Structure 1
Amino acid sequence: MKTTKEQADQDIHDNLVDNLQGLLEKNYDAEAGYKKAMQDAKNSQLKEYLKRQAAQRGEFATELDREIRALNETPKSSGSMTGKLHRTWIDIKSAVSGDNDEAVLEECIRGEKASVEEYEEKLQKNNFPPQVSNVLNNQLDRIKSTLNTIKGLEDISENWG
């Protein structure tokens, strides 16, 4: 039987791992979402940008995987059912939209806004160890930068031909 302190330590550990696993899963979803968006985009420069974003989210997943392994836990290996449903929604929206690139960018914006909210919520509600906090804050900054870039791309996408 565990002491109260041992149980509290285990609960803190489990909460930390659960939060990291959730973010890992979301990054798998984002990586797959960017790959899907890249397939749907028409503009070659946009395709290349989306490819880079998919790679970045793959890097984020690798960083989170490393942090989970450092806690002696096994990382999740794939995304969520919600992410799969979102990619299906992108398929439907792209099929009915007259401007695929704009529809793709709108979905990327929606996804990145959700990522920013999730990272901010987890950072606010949890007391992560400094190393984990640094990784998450760095990723959050990069997601915010991506969100701003995509918003700018959406504004100029109407001029693409």
Structure 2
Amino acid sequence: MSTSHQPTRSGSASSYNSASLGSSNADGSLLGQASKWLNKGSVGDMLGRMTTTQKVVGGALLAVGVSALLRGNKSKASKASGAGSDAQVDTLNELLYFVNDRIEGYQRAVEESQDPQNTGYYKQLVSQSQQFANELNGFLRQQGGSRQDSTTVKGKFYRAWMDTKAAITGADEKAILGSNIYGEEWAIKAYEDALSDNTLRGPVRQAVERQYQHSKQTYNRLKGMEGKQE
């Protein structure tokens, strides 16, 4: 079973002000919302004005935002100091968090979709994502790393939010498809980040580039499916 990606934290979350949260690109929409709430006034005044729901959601947003910020800083520092196989291990580990998110996202779509054609396609994407993960984990073991089956905190939070939304409003094909498109955008960004830091070499890079192209093809097909629903 997958576990969420939890970075080692140093210091308290209070050391991060709204400016540092708002300026991070690691988790734009979530950090932006958290930053807006922080900028409304002092923490005490803000809590006094917030409903219970806002407090719960706001706390979750801040937790996800700080986790993403810490994870991003830790990853950048590690890659800056690493070289050769160590740098490739870091990059593969980071990418696998998002590939594992992709697996869980499409598994969720298979469970919720009532459209036989859509369900069949989502099952193909689960299988494809599992193949991607196995391939990357194979390279990871070759580089001396351990198998990575974890998912991101962001992905875990998003799926929990979607489950809550579905429980209240019900799951429909359009919402499921929209969630898949959003998840594929995350995957594409993760592949672009992995390829742009120039740590991957030879067969590893070729495999990541191939997976990246498949992810873009999937995104285009999902967008096409969305267009037919409108």
Residues 73-92 of structure 1: pairs in structure 2 closer than 5 A: 73-92=145-164
What does residue 147 of structure 1 align with? 219
Q: Does the alignment pair 1:26 with 2:98?
A: yes
Structure 2: runs of 5+ lacking an equivalent: 1-79
Paired residues for 1:133-144 under 5 Å: 133-144=205-216
Distance 1:24 1:100 in 2: 29
Using the TM superposition, name which of 112-121 and 135-144 deviates more: 112-121
Kindly state the Cα deviation for residue 128 of structure 1 after the two structures are TM-superposed: 1.4
Instruction: Name the CA distance, whole Å, in 2 between partners of 1:48 and 1:30.
Output: 16
- TM-score w.r.t. length of structure 2: 0.60
More helix by share: 1
| Structure 1 residue 23 displacement after superposition | 1.2
AA matched with 1:74: S
* Equivalent residue pairs, number: 151
TM-score (norm 1): 0.84
Contact (CA 8 Å) 2:91, 2:199: kept in 1 or not? no
- State which structure, 1 or 2, has the greater radius of gyration over its C-alpha atoms: 2
Q: Alignment RMSD, CA only?
A: 2.0
Highest relative contact order (Cα 8 Å, sep 6+), 1 or 2? 1
Answering whether residue 173 of structure 2 is matched by residue 101 of structure 1, we say: yes
Q: What are the superposed Cα offsets for residues 67-126 of structure 1, whole Å, 9 maximum, x if unpaired?
A: 001112212233233322221122133344566110111111111111111211221122
CA distance in 2, matches of 1:157, 1:97: 19
Identity of aligned residues (%): 31
Gaps of 5+ in 1: 1-7
- SS, match of residue 200 in structure 2: coil
